[in-house]
Structure 1
């Protein structure tokens, strides 16, 4: 049996990365302040946060309605290709990156920007690749067709 068939990961990396890198940005800013001071930066941050949270909630509702797991370390019972998953194979992870950028803008903390990029990179290698292996093992050709139609990120 394929090791990826049951579940993609042992650890729910994406939420752990989001929380730990957010805390890292806050701590780094305390010791090495990097300000972003542009006109309207807080408004931009608020808009980005709102958009990210809306995408997250939309994706979570879509997964819930499809009766499959929201947790990234559990096995999927259904291949979800509609809702925000019709635009991105990883809308929650993309929203997490936008959320970090928004928090950085709102707090005027520039540390969030490189750490948001690091979040995307680590999420790709620790979660996305394993999740895609899980989905190909579970859903085969259906998942391959979906990958041809929908981009991984945006």
Structure 2
């Protein structure tokens, strides 16, 4: 199951939200045009995730979740969140949930994404980072929160 990379979980969650909201006759808490408030969240989240990935590429470190970490990145968005790519995906999915009318089903999908990301991906990565970077990573963890 380690082969399910975060962008694929993001897409699976997004598609599940859409299909469940449209196939089930779900009560929408936010109706058109008010649901469009989700659009800036979708865009901002994707920009945050893409910008954080670009930072990794720029410094020449590994972006792949289940590979050995290359470098400890602490600048850019990583000054504010230890996981800005995951945060960006979560913000984007929240925006999608709002666009889909903030039905309970879409919000549960969003929370499921956050739980899986936090308990599976982030825990795995933090363990690898502690092993590779030791006290330097521990100090970074004291200064920067996991999500925001």
TM-score (normalizing by structure 2): 0.88
Q: How does 1:66-81 map to 2 (within 5 A)?
A: 66-81=59-74
1:31 to 17, 23, 26: 23
Whether 2:143 is the aligned partner of 1:134: answer no
Whether 2:114 is the aligned partner of 1:120: answer yes
CA contact (8 A) 2:74 2:140 kept: yes
Whether 2:114 is the aligned partner of 1:143: answer no
TM-score (normalizing by structure 1): 0.85
Count of aligned pairs: 146
Distance 1:26 1:39 in 2: 16
Q: How large is the RMSD of aligned CA atoms in angstroms? A: 1.9
Task: Pick which of 110-119 and 12-21 moved more.
Answer: 12-21
Distance 1:39 1:80 in 2: 41
Where does the alignment leave 5 or more consecutive residues of structure 2 unmatched? none
CA contact (8 A) 2:100 2:106 kept: no
Q: How does 1:91-106 map to 2 (within 5 A)?
A: 91-106=84-99
Whether 2:10 is the aligned partner of 1:18: answer yes
